[in-house]
Structure 1
């Protein structure tokens, strides 16, 4: 007689990963408790076992996005060598991310103050990290490094938010060209 094992428990990390997928596919409308439970094939009790309310879930989701789409990338880039190499690695990783998640988080930030606060923190962290890399390159004054970081980040977010009718590959190529023009590689 075969023993039927219960399905694996849906963990907090599973709910957060599911939320990023729902956000990418449906935007903030996909982040209701009912929609998430339906998508997961779980009960509301399963959801509430991890999050006391949808507001707590949305804040946790934004922190998860920060961890996976910002802090992790910075940590990975910091494994590289020279500042320019780390910048190239960072750009490569950032361009490989699903832009629909970034778009969804920014739309969600317009609806939820805690998400907006985390989004603003992420923006500061990303600009600060870019400034650090540009400063460490030795090619820019401190004020140029700040300005360059802001322009680069504004272009990155702008490319994600504008509907230019480009495929994801075309969008990545366009941003890559922008970066090569803005910060040409050093001669060697």
Structure 2
């Protein structure tokens, strides 16, 4: 008889992301996740004190994945315009990237509509992203903060469209940034 390998905290988190994307936030409880993974709730509670701690760990991992790579990716760009274009590509590509095979931003936004903790975390990540965008726009000479909101809102809308048609928005985001830069 072969013994199943122990599940790691990451295994649980990735299962949580898959459950969130497929079944919504009601699936983010110990019992349904244990069934999904073919194990007991005891394994869940070995890694997490309770369901809210699990939710918090999920959001920590998502927020880290959503923002941490951007500053290093922009360092190599020689000008503010090049950095802004690169940021638009990163953001568009990030929307199509997955964590554990799951596209998360749409699912996180849906979850945030009914959960204050998730809404707060989403607002923090959105704030970081908007600040990065505003900073780069300012460096190119575009000082109206509404442009950052417009670009970011377009990105969120494109994500929603892509969740339905799987289209790549990299070129569309690039075109939007080029249009904004032409208005300088």
TM range (shorter): 0.7 to 0.9
Q: Which of 7, 12, 24 lines up with 1:10 in the alignment?
A: 7
Which residue of structure 1 lines up, in the alignment, with residue 119 of structure 2? Answer: 116
RMSD: 2.9
Q: How does 1:37-76 map to 2 (within 5 A)?
A: 37-76=34-73
Structure 2 CA distance, aligned partners of 1:50 and 1:164? Answer: 34
2:106 to 98, 103, 108: 103
SS at match of 1:81: coil
Q: Is the 8 A contact 2:21 2:107 kept in 1?
A: yes
Moved more, 85-94 or 114-123: 85-94
Aligned-pair distance for 1:87? 2.6
Q: Does 1:177 align with 2:178?
A: no
Which has the bigger relative contact order, CA under 8 A and spacing at least 6?
2
Inter-partner Cα distance in structure 1 for 2:73 and 2:5: 31
Match of 2:90 among 79, 89, 93: 93
Is residue 142 of structure 2 the alignment partner of residue 135 of structure 1? no
TM-score (norm 1): 0.78
Instruction: Give matches, 1:126-165, under 5 Å.
Output: 126-137=129-140, 139-141=141-143, 144=144, 146-161=145-160
In the TM superposition, residue 105 of structure 1 has moved relative to its aligned partner by: 0.4
Unpaired runs of 5+ in structure 2?
Answer: 97-102
